[in-house]
Structure 1
Amino acid sequence: MTSSEPTDTEPAQREAAAAAGQPDGVPNGAPDASDTRPKGFDLATLLAERGAERYELQARYVNHQLPRMLHTIGFDRVYERAEGAHFWDAEGNDYLDMLAGFGVMGVGRHHPVVRKALHDVLDAGLADLTRFDCQPLPGLLAEKLLASTPHLDRVFFGNSGTEAVETALKFARYATGKPRVLYCTHSFHGLTAGSLSVNGEEGFQDGFAPLLPDTAVPMGDLDALARELKRGDVAALIVEPIQGHGVYIPEPGYLRAAQELLRKHKALLICDEVQTGIGRTGKFWAYEHEEGVEPDLVTVAKTLSGGYVPVGATLGRDWIFKKVYSSMDRVLVHSASFGSNAQAMTAGLATLSVVEDEQLVENSQAMGELLRDRLAALVGRYEMLKEVRGRGLMIAIEFGRPKSLGLRSRWTMLQTARKGLFAQMVVVPLLQKHHILTQVSGDHVEIIKLIPPLVVDEADVDRFVTAFTAVMDDAHGGGGLMWDFGKTLIKQAVANR
């Protein structure tokens, strides 16, 4: 039999090839000159073909409750692109971002300086993450960060704010030899097991016990702090200089007095600046608002990422780091697989350059003061507007029980169903009618938190105040659309009980 003669097995091979999607007569893996389909990964094609499935994909494979929640409150929009403090939906509508991705977009979305820097570091083809060399970028970013905190000496780089907090907790315990960390009620420090142990919001802890044996003390209560310190087992107090959930600011002098008590008992002060750091409050660090405060450990993330690459950092005193890394045997006693990667370090360096060059700390102070003053001027005008507070571009708008009978009955109806519904009723028309994205500041609170990108300008401030005024006019005038939506939220709240 010659090679040109057919065999009995060829039809079966062709059928098998066809069933496998292979061209007729082409062995598995062999190239086919007639196949013109693009090879490799093509992001644009993938998004064009599958992007419209975004909510279905989330519901099926990720968090099924997220699209459900977004649909309920009318937030299930399709956003196409973003720049600075704005983004646009599929219809080309311009939205003002007063949320900044929970503070991540500090320098705005797709800042050209950060974007170019990331292109540059990818093009450089660095020998990154060998783990057995010392690359220059981590040292350069550490040097830049420490220039803003002259009393601190060293930096550990992780991948998130939560990792930065975990690092601080571990370092404080090891350096002091004590097991317990104090934290403030109503605080938020992360959702991993360690950071959850110092989370002052019980709703986040529910069902995840047992946690670490840490203890909450009321923010501002120095007597409670002193009582716990006298037990002799406290490694540190971790505190947000301004609490993110609700934007609560401690009384003047609290941080300084707490620092003195901690030092007296050989315990450390940890300042969690994951959200407040790098200009958010009108100072580079929020603890700088109080003279003489020099925390032993500082955590930072969010803005440091430039909105692109996750990065977290824990800054600390030299003696703490030297105690943790006390010998060559302990060189990897605390590490992170992706920590100090070139993209994250470049994003951090570029972001700090933008913050400095564009004077974003100063802009945060100026625009924050303008926004806060204009909103505070409305407090006497609206019964349900209780208070406006904050520092820099970290502002809380708190609502409260009205005095007039008609509004009070509606308020009571909402509170009976679920506390926090009125704030949600304000957030929804701000998005749906005025195309402004905001958030309710935590569960069961009547507070809206504003944390826009630090690049917002006077036109953005004016747009928000104008829209907020219109929503409050509608609420106090008995506007049908707003209160009708309130009924929808009530039904949802009752159904979820």
Structure 2
Amino acid sequence: MSSYIKDLLQTHPGKNFDLHDAHLNTQMVRVLKTIGYDRVYTRASGPYLYDSQENEYLDLLSGFGVFALGRNHPEVVQALRDVLDAELPDLVQMDVSLLSGLLAEALLKHCPPKLSKMFFCNSGAEANEAAIKFARYTTRREKIVYCEHGFHGLTLGALSLNGEEVFREGFGPLLPGCVAVPFDNLPALENALKNQDVAAFIFEPIQGKGVNIPSDNYLPEAAKLCQKYGTLFVADEVQTGMGRTGKFWAVEHWGVEPDMILMAKALSGGFVPVGAVAMTARIMDAVFNRMDRAVVHGSTFSKNNMAMAAGLATLKVIEEEKLVENAAKIGGEIVDGIRAMIPKYDFLKQVRGKGLMIAVEFGSPDGLLRKAAFAGLEAANKGLFSQTITIPLFKNHRILSQVAGHGMNVVKFLPPLVVTEKDRDWILRAMDQVIGDTQEVGGAIKDLGKNLISHALKQKAGA
């Protein structure tokens, strides 16, 4: 038996950045080197990454939510081995596979009763593309309403619903008929729907960019408006779903029942890309309404046995290890712990989140010296202060985190749902020290700020 991949790994150690610089995204290599994230990871387990020196890192990105179970969960690994060992016929196409039927059945048990049909695809963006098409065909309307600052993917249809201009710039013209409204604004939503020409309102229950949480009445009232004006109510749970927020679906926090729920990321188990759309029978039957339309929408690699097995194993682990409950408990304790630091640190303004989807927001302090330091960073590049948190978290405490979006001083934590009380304490100790260090204008913020400002100004000059 050939050990081809093993041999490649052994004969090219540490070549990651050279190969990417030569053949892939050179700018990403520059970014990682600039902020000091240029580590070579050699293995991973659960919520932890290990570099070539066997240093342990706590991953609070979890692949943007993909690794809800952590990395290399043995239950998913075994499920994939079982599929390979079984030598199953796969992607026969003129066939219907057993594993896709079983995964659809298992997922729908977690959905509102009115959602009885499932469509599989390969990603969250594909799920959004499907939702756009299905909504238009079902209602025979063209318009789609989405929220400002939302994120639904980067393919052309999904990009047309993307509320961040930085992703849209230069890629137009996008799909016609896509209308943005402010998030958490019911009058604006009703104004967009009142002409009864909108196919769907597609929304994130909690916005990933910024971790923006709606008011208590927003989603219930939005659902009523959609019903009133004949618009489908579509929840994009690609990042928020499958336990992330301390409920299986984030919409459960507000007691609403969408006409479609979009999912991906965590469903993969961290191995095989998979996305899905749960929907009402009305929508499925409208799109696939005759035998000659049985293949009117699909995806070549969807329903492949490896992806379906990964999804089934993921659901099994979530249920058996009570990961939804763990997300609610540990996430709440992290939010409470960081929130308790607000009186100590005047840069720290707000901590928000549900479950293990957490945002820590910073802003200008009251003291003159600190205010001037903050203003200097903002003048160089809006949102730069947040890097004085994420970079020391990584360099000094081996915690991998991210900024919650472009131009905002919000640090986002999206840990695997398997994090423990030990990890909670690790996060709280590190945040206390890192935020405390920013209070010393002549120390950490000055040194790090100089470096970040220098790079920011160079980028502006080269733009």
Please give the TM-score of this superposition, normalised by the length of structure 1. Answer: 0.91
| Most deviating of 470-479 and 342-351 | 470-479
Structure 2 equivalent of residue 361 of structure 1: 324
Give, in whole Å, the separation in 1 of the partners of 2:258 and 2:434: 42
Residues 285-300 of structure 1 aligned to structure 2 (within 5 Å): 285-291=249-255, 293-300=256-263
Structure 1 equivalent of residue 287 of structure 2: 324
Residues 249-328 of structure 1 aligned to structure 2 (within 5 Å): 249-291=213-255, 293-328=256-291
Q: CA deviation at 1:233?
A: 1.7
Structure 2 equivalent of residue 431 of structure 1: 394
The reply to whether residue 206 of structure 1 matches residue 169 of structure 2 is yes
1:460 counterpart (414, 423, 445)? 423
Give, in whole Å, the separation in 2 of the partners of 1:290 and 1:481: 42
The reply to whether residue 448 of structure 1 matches residue 411 of structure 2 is yes
Give, in whole Å, the separation in 2 of the partners of 1:260 and 1:175: 19
Residues 107-256 of structure 1 aligned to structure 2 (within 5 Å): 107-149=69-111, 150-213=113-176, 214-256=178-220
Structure 2 equivalent of residue 51 of structure 1: 13
Matching residue's letter, 2:226: L
User: Can you list the C-alpha shifts for 1:369-388, whole angstroms capped at 9, x where unaligned?
Assistant: 11110011011110000100
Structure 2 equivalent of residue 397 of structure 1: 360
User: Can you list the C-alpha shifts for 1:223-277, whole angstroms capped at 9, x where unaligned?
Assistant: 1111111223210100100000110011111111111111111110010000000
Structure 2 equivalent of residue 416 of structure 1: 379
> Contact 1:429–1:482 at 8 Å: present in 2 too?
no
Matching residue's letter, 1:400: G
Residues 3-14 of structure 1 aligned to structure 2 (within 5 Å): none
Residues 59-98 of structure 1 aligned to structure 2 (within 5 Å): 59-98=21-60
User: Can you list the C-alpha shifts for 1:39-67, whole angstroms capped at 9, x where unaligned?
Assistant: 85611110111232110111111111111
Residues 338-357 of structure 1 aligned to structure 2 (within 5 Å): 338-357=301-320
Matching residue's letter, 1:435: R
Matching residue's letter, 1:230: K
User: Can you list the C-alpha shifts for 1:104-133, whole angstroms capped at 9, x where unaligned?
Assistant: 000111000001110111111000001011
Gaps of 5+ in 1: 1-38
Give, in whole Å, the separation in 2 of the partners of 1:116 and 1:496: 46
SS of residue matched to 1:188: coil
Q: CA deviation at 1:479?
A: 5.5
Q: CA deviation at 1:481?
A: 4.0
Give, in whole Å, the separation in 2 of the partners of 1:271 and 1:357: 26
SS of residue matched to 2:408: coil
| Most deviating of 48-57 and 250-259 | 48-57
Matching residue's letter, 1:196: L
SS of residue matched to 2:70: coil
> Contact 2:128–2:262 at 8 Å: present in 1 too?
yes
Give, in whole Å, the separation in 2 of the partners of 1:90 and 1:50: 13
User: Taking every aligned residue pair, what percent have the same amino acid on both sides?
Assistant: 50
Give, in whole Å, the separation in 1 of the partners of 2:245 and 2:404: 17
Please give the TM-score of this superposition, normalised by the length of structure 2. Answer: 0.98
> Contact 2:373–2:441 at 8 Å: present in 1 too?
no
User: Can you list the C-alpha shifts for 1:425-470, whole angstroms capped at 9, x where unaligned?
Assistant: 1100100111000001111110000010000011101001101111
Q: CA 1:315 to 1:436, structure 2 compared with 1: closer, same or farther past 3 Å?
A: same
Give, in whole Å, the separation in 2 of the partners of 1:172 and 1:375: 41
> Contact 1:364–1:454 at 8 Å: present in 2 too?
yes
User: Can you list the C-alpha shifts for 1:321-366, whole angstroms capped at 9, x where unaligned?
Assistant: 0110011111111000000000000000000000000000000000
SS of residue matched to 2:29: helix
Matching residue's letter, 2:43: R
Give, in whole Å, the separation in 1 of the partners of 2:185 and 2:410: 23
Give, in whole Å, the separation in 2 of the partners of 1:76 and 1:88: 13
Point out the structure with max Rg over C-alpha: 1
Matching residue's letter, 1:216: A
Give, in whole Å, the separation in 2 of the partners of 1:328 and 1:147: 27
Matching residue's letter, 1:270: V
Matching residue's letter, 1:88: Y
Runs of 4+ in 1 over 3 A off after TM superposition: none
SS of residue matched to 1:496: helix
SS of residue matched to 1:303: helix
Q: CA deviation at 1:480?
A: 2.6
SS of residue matched to 2:13: helix
Matching residue's letter, 2:264: A
- The alignment covers a number of residue pairs equal to 458
Gaps of 5+ in 2: none
Structure 2 equivalent of residue 334 of structure 1: 297
1:381 counterpart (330, 344, 357)? 344
